[in-house]
Each structure stands twice: as structure tokens, then as C-alpha cells.
Amino acid sequence: MNLLHKGLYIKRLLKQLDIKEFRLNDKNDPLYVGFGKNTLVNLLKLEEFEKESDKAKAKAILDTIGGKEEDYQFVFPSETRSNAKDIGITVDSDGDSDIFEISPGYYLLTTELVPVHAQAGYLAGYQDQEFIETLPKFRTTVDRFARGKYRHFEASGDSMDNGNIREAIPDGAILMCREIKREHWNSKLHTHRWPNYVFVHRTEGIVVKQIAHQDVKNGVLVLRSLNENKEKYPDFEVNLDDMLEIYNVVKRIIE
């Protein structure tokens, strides 16, 4: 195995995992790594990854396909998996997430994922770092970012599914979210660019909704669902005093 050069090693690893190379270049595929076909073809021809940009791309592939310790050790013999994330241009996100550039204008974002089965525990443990460390990691590519704390949440149910492929949030969708800091809650929450929110509420739990109305003076939000069945999903009020966290939904990942 050690007779293989680095690019060929990754190429054979993809074959062993039955992962077609084109999936890594498809922007609509969960395995998209942030760069095109020609870049991937040239990368897999390299005997050694000497440029930092090539190292970052190789790491993005291994991260995306779930590379094992021995894969990282072969491709990055002077690195360990624990510090391999430092390859590339790391961006300070002011939070727990890891953002670094994998190609010009494309970034790989790694954050904790709060799946449906962990959401009840998240209400009690969202400030407990030991609990947060038990959550799975989720990676996605972005072409822009803002500083702050990012987190992924799994959507549940059909309250935000109106059948419109451009805006619906169906059951099982993964939502990339950026936290809105508490000091901004008393101001008007902007809904024109990011209309969907994840609210972590003391009694309602974790809900994905839009804001129908905001009473800034009294700290009250009226939340609405996208689903047009208002008998099943009526608008309802929540008080900001009962809110634990608020996130903008900045990206939907739908398989």
C-alpha cells in the first residue's frame, strides 16, 4: 500500500468505498467537497500534496468520505488526525465551529449536529460543553460565511413543508444555522434575507418557524409555519424571556 502515491491512494479509497468521483463535484450531493471535476482529476494525479491548498482539498475529501486514522496517516504522515484540521486557511468563527478554505471562495464548515433524538437532551445541555462534545459532527460546504457560532439541526415533521422546493423544509432536512446573540433579540429581527429560524424554547422545545410578527416593546414573537394547513399548524405567540437560543437558518441540506 505504501507504494501508492497520495493521489492514487485517495482514488483507490474512493473505489473501495464505492463512491463515484462525480459525487464529490456535484453541488447538490451531500458529498460535495467545494471544487470542480478538473481540480479533482488533477489532485488525484499528484504523487505528493506539497501546496497547502492541495492539502486542504485532500483533507476535505477524507473528512467528507469518513476517512480512517490510517488514511490520514498515509496522506499526511507528519500530521495526526487531531491536528489535520489545521491544514488550509482556518477562519476564526467566534464559536465551536471549524471553517476553513478548501478552494478560492469555498469553505468547509464543521459543526455539531443536533439530531431529532438528541433535541430533548439539548434543552438541558446546550450550555454544557461535555454534552455538546457527545453530539455528532456534520460538514457542509459554503461559498460565504459570517463570523459567529454555527450549528446544524435536523428538522422534524411537516410543519415547514409547503411543497415548494425552493423554500420547503421537509422532515429530515439538515439545517445549517448561525446563532443570533441574545443582545440582538431586543432589536427587530431581520426576516428579509433569512426568513427561517430555529428557536430553542423552554417549553416548546426546538422548533423551526418563521416570524409573522414581532412586538419589540413587549418581547413577544408570533411564529408561523410554512405548511398551509393552519388548523393543524396555527400561528402562536412566544415570549423572548422563555427563549434559550435563536438561530438563523442559512442553508438547507436535503437528501
pLDDT of residue 105: 67
Integer angstrom CA distances of residue 42 from 48, 66, 105: 12, 22, 19
pLDDT of residue 179: 93
The CATH-assigned architecture of domain 89-255 is: Ribbon (2.10)
pLDDT of residue 187: 86
Tens digits of pLDDT across the chain (255 residues): 344 688 998 998 998 888 999 999 888 888 888 888 999 999 999 988 888 888 888 988 988 888 887 788 888 875 543 333 333 333 444 555 677 776 666 778 888 999 999 999 999 999 898 999 899 988 887 777 677 889 999 999 999 999 988 889 999 999 999 999 999 898 888 777 789 999 999 999 999 999 999 999 999 999 999 999 999 999 999 999 999 999 999 989 886
DSSP state of 92: -
The residue type at 163: G
Residue 66 has phi, psi (to 5 degrees) of 75, 45
CA distance 30 to 26: 8
Determine the 3-state secondary structure of 247 from DSSP. strand
> Among candidates 225, 133, 135, 140, which has minimal Cα distance to 174?
140
Cα torsion for 70, 75, 78, 81, to the nearest 10°?
Answer: -50
* Cell triple for 217: 416593546
- Asked if residues 48 and 5 have their Cβ atoms less than 8 Å apart, the reply is yes
Q: Where are the domains of the chain?
A: 1-87, 89-255
DSSP state of 169: -
The owner of cell 456534520 is 138
CA distance 229 to 227: 6
pLDDT of residue 92: 45
Q: Which residues contact 106 (CB under 8 A, 6 or more apart)?
A: 34, 35, 141, 142, 143
- Asked if residues 30 and 253 have their Cβ atoms less than 8 Å apart, the reply is yes
pLDDT of residue 72: 83
pLDDT of residue 134: 92
Q: Which residues pair with 248 in a beta bridge?
A: 178, 197
DSSP sequence for 1-55: -TTS-HHHHHHHHHHHTT--GGGGG-TTSTT--SS-HHHHHHHTT-SS--SHHHH
pLDDT of residue 119: 93
**Helices vs. strands in the chain: H and E counts, helices first:** 6, 11
